[in-house]
């Protein structure tokens, strides 16, 4: 129905009974291209959405609050299929007269939910949300300079360095910015052979950044030395849309691709515990167990842990659960949402 408003699904996964419940929120402002949730307030989220003005289509950004009863952990039963859809409450727009279309919004990871960045065409904008997020003040900004029409495609706020660094992608380049001065601190000119689709910071290692793109590759960088990637994965056969580090165990890395697959990799050699818990003691002989000093010197092996092929179309998004380090969800172009778990055997090898 072309007259119906775009909707957001709030998914509630019942782990004990293996049941997915959902609630529906109406997003009447327009078609949604990007969603990001506040790390400090579970009822607040930002969207980037299409808006037609003067016969032009712009992608705008806004901050919204969902009804309290629908917040994650809310008490409304989602069982009733006839329950009415709820509307989002607009808190503020993230708009600027000089900006073009907004590619994405990223919240300060460890903050109080009051600072966000948005990427609009060639502008990097830092916003300060005031008074219950009902007003957004533009705190500072930076712009991409160069030939042609430069446009940001995505960005990620680093959880390290007291949250003073942001990484952005435009075309094949990845750049780092200092949010205190809004100046560039590093640049990887040709990070990928084609468009860079996504970025993610290792949550436990402050200089480690992952990138992925249309060259079918996933690359891992040390932002202090950006001439060559530290590691490269070439497991996908089409564009890689998403790369995500596990929040607790950074050797676990998820990637999603237009080849319809989600791949879970073990990047042990560049993790925060390179000689850590991934050695399976059952595989060690008595002789090896008697020489622990030699065992600890074995170089860890990176490998693909599992390939998930439940999707029949391009997988545009994959995310780890915030509350359960072994749970993740993926979403494909055909609207299929799949919830999966890290293989149990690997989970126990990591924990024991």
Token duo for residue 308: 């998930």
pLDDT tens-place string over residues 20-53: 888 899 999 999 999 999 999 999 999 999 988 7
Burial 122-132 (b: 16+ CB within 10 A, else e): bbbbbbebeee
Percentage above 70 pLDDT, the chain: 86
| Residue 169 · residue 199 · CB < 8 Å | yes
- Whole-structure pTM value: 0.87
Least confident of 71-75, 111-115, 138-142, 294-298: 294-298
Q: How confident is the model at residue 275 (pLDDT cuts 50, 70, 90)?
A: low
Average pLDDT of the chain?
A: 87
| Residue 176 · residue 166 · CB < 8 Å | yes
pLDDT above 80: residue 300: no
Give mean pLDDT, residues 77-85. Answer: 56
CA distances from 298 to 250, 270, 340 (A): 19, 14, 31
> Which are the contacts of 310, defined by CB distance < 8 A and separation ≥ 6?
336, 338, 340
Beta-bridged to residue 102, according to DSSP, are 120
Least confident of 68-72, 225-229, 270-274: 68-72
Percentage above 90 pLDDT, the chain: 67
> Which are the contacts of 34, defined by CB distance < 8 A and separation ≥ 6?
47, 48, 103, 104, 105
Per-residue confidence (pLDDT) for residue 288, from 0 to 100:
46
| Residue 277 · residue 349 · CB < 8 Å | yes
Exposed/middle/buried for residue 215 (C-beta within 10 Å: 0-12, 13-18, 19+): buried
Give mean pLDDT, residues 258-265. Answer: 96
pLDDT above 80: residue 96: no
Q: How confident is the model at residue 294 (pLDDT cuts 50, 70, 90)?
A: very low
| Residue 156 · residue 166 · CB < 8 Å | yes
| Residue 267 · residue 276 · CB < 8 Å | no
pLDDT above 70: residue 274: no
pLDDT tens-place string over residues 179-223: 999 999 999 999 999 999 999 999 999 999 999 999 999 999 999
Per-residue confidence (pLDDT) for residue 72, from 0 to 100:
66
| Residue 89 · residue 43 · CB < 8 Å | no
Q: Which residue has the tokens 């890689």?
A: 240
pLDDT above 50: residue 286: no
């Amino acid at each position: 129905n072309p007259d119906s408003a775009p909707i957001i699904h709030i998914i509630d996964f019942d782990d004990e009974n293996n049941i997915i419940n959902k609630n529906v929120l109406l997003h009447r402002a327009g078609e949604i291209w990007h969603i990001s949730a506040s790390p400090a307030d579970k009822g607040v989220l930002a969207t980037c959405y299409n808006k037609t003005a003067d016969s032009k289509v712009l992608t705008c950004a806004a901050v919204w609050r969902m009804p309290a009863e629908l917040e994650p952990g809310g008490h409304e039963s989602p069982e009733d299929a006839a329950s009415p859809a709820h509307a989002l409450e607009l808190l503020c727009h993230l708009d600027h007269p000089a900006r073009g279309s907004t590619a994405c919004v990223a919240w300060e990871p460890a903050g109080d939910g009051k600072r966000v960045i948005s990427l609009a065409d060639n502008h990097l904008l830092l916003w300060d949300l005031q008074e219950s997020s009902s007003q957004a003040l533009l705190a500072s900004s930076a712009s991409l300079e160069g030939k042609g029409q430069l446009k940001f495609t995505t960005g990620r706020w680093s959880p390290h360095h007291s949250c003073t660094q942001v990484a952005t992608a435009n075309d094949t380049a990845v750049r780092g910015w200092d949010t205190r001065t809004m100046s560039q601190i590093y640049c990887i000119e040709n990070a990928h052979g084609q468009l860079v689709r996504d970025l993610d910071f290792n949550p436990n290692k402050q200089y480690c950044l992952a990138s992925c793109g249309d060259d079918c590759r996933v690359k891992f960088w040390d932002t202090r030395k950006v001439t060559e990637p530290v590691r490269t994965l070439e497991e996908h056969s089409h564009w890689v849309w998403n790369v995500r580090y596990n929040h607790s165990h950074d050797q676990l890395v998820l990637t999603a691709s237009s080849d319809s697959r989600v791949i879970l990799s073990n990047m042990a050699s560049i993790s925060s515990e390179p000689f850590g818990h991934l050695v399976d003691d059952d595989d060690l002989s008595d002789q090896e167990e008697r020489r622990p000093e030699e065992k600890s010197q074995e170089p860890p092996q990176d490998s693909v842990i599992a390939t998930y092929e439940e999707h029949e179309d391009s997988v545009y998004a994959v995310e780890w659960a915030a509350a359960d380090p072994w749970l993740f969800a993926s979403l494909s172009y055909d609207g299929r949402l799949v919830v999966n778990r890290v293989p149990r055997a690997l989970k126990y090898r990591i924990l024991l």
